[in-house]
Amino acid sequence: MSKKLLRLLALLAVFSLFAIGCGGDDDTSSTSEETAEEATEETVEECVLGPGVSDTEIKIGSSQPLTGNLAALGVQAEFALNATIKRINDGGGIAGRTISLTVQDDEFNPEKTVTNAQYFIDQVGVFAVWGSIGSAPTVAAIPLHDEAGIMTLFTWSQDTSLFDREAHPYFFSLNPSGYKQAVAFSNYFGNKFDYGSETPVVAGLVLSSPDGEEAAQGVRDGAAGAFEGGTQTWERDATTYQPQLLAMKDAGVTDIYTVVGDTQFAQIIQEMDQVGLEARVWGTNAVVTSNLIDLVGPLAEGALAVTVMTGLNADVPGLVQFREEMAAVGASEADLSSASMLAYSGGLALEAGLRAVGECLNADALADALLALEDFSTGGIMAPINFDPSTGLGNQGAIIQEVVDGVWTTVDEG
Amino acid sequence: MTELIQLLWSGVLNGLCYALIGLSLVLIFKTARILNFAAGTMAGFTGWFAWWWATKQGIPFLLAILVAIIMVAVATLLIERLTIRPLINENFLSIVTITLGLEFLIANISIRMFGGRAESFRIPGDIQFKNFEIGGVRFNWWHIVILIATFVILAIVGYIVNRTELGLAMRAFAEDKDAARLMGIKESTVSQWTWTLSVTVGGLTGILFAPVLFLQQDYMNIPFIKGFVAAILGGFTSLSGGVLGGLLLGELEALAVKYAPRQAAAALPVIIVFFILLIRPRGLFTRAKAHERV
CA nearest to A338, candidates A162, A74, A145, A158: A74
What pLDDT score does A27 carry? 41
CA distance, residue B101 to nearest chain A CA (Å): 18
Residues in chain B: 294
What is the DSSP-derived secondary structure letter of residue A123? I
Residues A38 and A51: their CA atoms lie apart, in Å, by 24
ipTM score: 0.87
Q: Are residues A245 and A213 in the same domain?
A: yes
For B107-144, b/e burial (b = at least 16 CB within 10 A) is beebbeebbbbbbbbbbeeebbbebeeeeebbbbbbbe
Indicate if the alpha-carbon torsion angle A384, A389, A393, A398 is positive or negative. Answer: negative
Residue A7: pLDDT over 80: no
Residues A372 and B280: their CA atoms lie apart, in Å, by 66
Give CA separation, A72 vs A247, B113, B216, in Å.
30, 15, 9
Residue A24: pLDDT over 50: no
Burial class, B190, CB count within 10 angstroms (exposed 0-12 / middle 13-18 / buried 19+): buried
| Tens digit of each residue's pLDDT (9 = 90 or more) over B99-131 | 999 998 898 888 888 877 788 999 998 899 999
Q: Are residues A143 and A228 in the same domain?
A: no
Which of chain B's residues have a Cβ under 8 Å away from the Cβ of A293? none
Q: Name, in order, each residue with C-beta under 8 angstroms of A82's C-beta and a sequence gap of 6 or more.
A: A101, A329
Residues A299 and A143: their CA atoms lie apart, in Å, by 42
Q: Is residue A70 part of a domain?
A: yes
Residue A5: pLDDT over 80: no
Contact A295 B118 (CB under 8 A): yes
**Domain span holding position A120:** 57-176+316-395
Q: In this prediction, what percent of chain A has a pLDDT beyond 70?
A: 88
Q: How many CB pairs under 8 A join A and B?
A: 117
| Tens digit of each residue's pLDDT (9 = 90 or more) over A313-335 | 778 899 999 999 999 999 988 78
Q: Is residue B93 part of a domain?
A: yes
| Tens digit of each residue's pLDDT (9 = 90 or more) over B137-182 | 999 999 999 999 999 999 999 999 989 998 899 888 888 888 888 8
Q: Is residue B204 part of a domain?
A: yes
Number of domains in chain B: 1
Helix (H, G, I), strand (E, B) or coil at B33: coil
Q: Are residues A334 and A292 in the same domain?
A: no
Longest CA–CA span in chain B (Å) reads 60
Contact B6 A246 (CB under 8 A): yes
What pLDDT score does B60 carry? 95
Q: What is the pTM of this model?
A: 0.80
The HSE-up count of residue B52 (CA atoms within 13 Å, CB side) is 17
More confident residue, A68 or B230: B230
Q: Are residues A136 and A78 in the same domain?
A: yes
B218–chain A Cβ distance below 8 A for any pair: yes
Distance linking the first and last C-alpha atoms of chain A: 104
Which of chain A's residues have a Cβ under 8 Å away from the Cβ of B253? 239, 243
Contact B223 A239 (CB under 8 A): yes
In what helix (H) or strand (E) does residue A8 lie, and over which residues does it extend?
A: helix A2-46
What pLDDT score does B112 carry? 80
More confident residue, B265 or A152: A152
**Interface residue of B214, B247, B273 to substitute, partner A, most A CBs within 10 Å:** B214
In what helix (H) or strand (E) does residue A67 lie, and over which residues does it extend?
A: none
Which of chain A's residues have a Cβ under 8 Å away from the Cβ of B217? 67-69, 71
Residues B205 and B27: their CA atoms lie apart, in Å, by 14
Q: Name, in order, each residue with C-beta under 8 angstroms of B69's C-beta and a sequence gap of 6 or more.
A: B46, B50, B200, B203, B204, B207
Helix (H, G, I), strand (E, B) or coil at A256: strand
CATH of the domain at B55: 1.10.3470
Q: Is residue B240 part of a domain?
A: yes
- Contact between A144 and A118 under an 8 Å Cβ cutoff? The reply is yes
**Helix-strand-coil percent breakdown of chain B, rounded to 5?**
80, 5, 20
What pLDDT score does A10 carry? 46
* Residue A102: strand pairing partners: A61
More confident residue, A268 or A395: A268
φ, ψ at A255 (rounded to 5°): -140, 130
Given A275, A307, A339, the domain boundary residue is A307
Q: Is residue B134 part of a domain?
A: no
Residues B11 and A164: their CA atoms lie apart, in Å, by 43
Q: Are residues A62 and A162 in the same domain?
A: yes
For A210-243, b/e burial (b = at least 16 CB within 10 A) is ebbbbbbbbbbebbbbebbbebbbbeeebbbbbb
Q: Is residue B131 part of a domain?
A: no
Residue A15: pLDDT over 50: no
Residues in chain A: 414
Residues A90 and A346: their CA atoms lie apart, in Å, by 18
Contact A276 B131 (CB under 8 A): yes
Q: Which whole number is the average pLDDT over A208-233?
A: 90
**What's the whole-number average pLDDT of chain A?**
86
More confident residue, A141 or B261: A141
| Tens digit of each residue's pLDDT (9 = 90 or more) over B77-96 | 999 889 888 887 777 788 88
Q: Are residues A36 and A128 in the same domain?
A: no
What pLDDT score does A12 carry? 46
Residues B64 and B121: their CA atoms lie apart, in Å, by 12
Burial class, A200, CB count within 10 angstroms (exposed 0-12 / middle 13-18 / buried 19+): buried
CA nearest to A219, candidates A202, A198, A200: A202
Contact B116 A72 (CB under 8 A): yes
Q: Is residue A234 part of a domain?
A: yes
What pLDDT score does A41 carry? 53
> DSSP assignment of B262-290, as one string?
HHHHTHHHHHHHHHHHHH-TT-TT----H
Q: Which whole number is the average pLDDT over A287-303?
A: 88
Of the candidates B129, B214, B257, the beta carbon closest to that of A243 is on B257
In chain A, the residue whose alpha carbon lies closest to the alpha carbon of B112 is A67
Residues A309 and A303: their CA atoms lie apart, in Å, by 16
CA nearest to A402, candidates A319, A263, A296, A287: A287
Instruction: Could you list the beta-strand ranges (E) of A139-219.
Output: 151-153, 171-172, 202-207
In chain B, the residue whose alpha carbon lies closest to the alpha carbon of A105 is B116
Q: Is residue B277 part of a domain?
A: yes
Q: Is residue B260 part of a domain?
A: yes
Contact B258 A247 (CB under 8 A): yes
Residue A218: pLDDT over 90: yes
Q: Which whole number is the average pLDDT over B198-222?
A: 92
Model confidence at A370, pLDDT cuts 50, 70, 90, reads: very high
Q: Are residues A201 and A291 in the same domain?
A: yes
In chain B, the residue whose alpha carbon lies closest to the alpha carbon of A210 is B263
Give CA separation, A137 vs A65, A83, A142, A339, A390, in Å.
10, 24, 9, 16, 22
φ, ψ at B216 (rounded to 5°): -135, 160
Interface of B with A in 84-113 (CB under 8 A): 107, 111
| Tens digit of each residue's pLDDT (9 = 90 or more) over A302-312 | 999 998 888 77
Which of chain A's residues have a Cβ under 8 Å away from the Cβ of B255? 243
Q: Are residues A233 and A299 in the same domain?
A: yes
What is the DSSP-derived secondary structure letter of residue A55? S
- Contact between B57 and B64 under an 8 Å Cβ cutoff? The reply is yes
Q: Is residue A108 part of a domain?
A: yes
Residue B64: pLDDT over 50: yes
Q: Are residues A288 and A202 in the same domain?
A: yes
Number of domains in chain A: 3
Q: Are residues A148 and A171 in the same domain?
A: yes
Which of chain A's residues have a Cβ under 8 Å away from the Cβ of B226? 237, 239
What pLDDT score does A235 carry? 81
Of the candidates A231, A239, A242, the beta carbon closest to that of B222 is on A239
Q: Are residues A228 and A279 in the same domain?
A: yes
What pLDDT score does A378 carry? 94
Contact A242 B222 (CB under 8 A): no
Contact A68 B216 (CB under 8 A): yes
| Tens digit of each residue's pLDDT (9 = 90 or more) over B258-286 | 888 877 777 777 788 888 888 887 777 76
Q: Is residue A124 part of a domain?
A: yes
Which of chain A's residues have a Cβ under 8 Å away from the Cβ of B222? 237-239
CATH of the domain at A108: 3.40.50.2300
B253–chain A Cβ distance below 8 A for any pair: yes
B271–chain A Cβ distance below 8 A for any pair: no
**Interface residue of A206, A242, A335, A336 to substitute, partner B, most B CBs within 10 Å:** A242
**Domain span holding position B46:** 2-116+141-293
Residues B11 and B267: their CA atoms lie apart, in Å, by 16
**Interface residue of B2, B8, B10, B263 to substitute, partner A, most A CBs within 10 Å:** B10
Instruction: Could you list the beta-strand ranges (E) of A65-116.
Output: 98-105
- Contact between A60 and A129 under an 8 Å Cβ cutoff? The reply is yes
Contact A299 B129 (CB under 8 A): yes
- Contact between A379 and A316 under an 8 Å Cβ cutoff? The reply is yes
Residue A31: pLDDT over 50: no
- Alpha-carbon torsion, ordered A371, A372, A377, A378, to 10 deg: -40
Q: Is residue A402 part of a domain?
A: no
What pLDDT score does A38 carry? 53
Residues B161 and A289: their CA atoms lie apart, in Å, by 47
What pLDDT score does A362 carry? 94
Which of chain B's residues have a Cβ under 8 Å away from the Cβ of A274? 131, 138, 140, 143
φ, ψ at A205 (rounded to 5°): -125, 100
Give Cα A388 to chain centroid, integer Å. 13
More confident residue, B84 or A370: A370
What pLDDT score does A6 carry? 45
Residue A93: pLDDT over 90: yes
**What's the whole-number average pLDDT of chain B?**
88
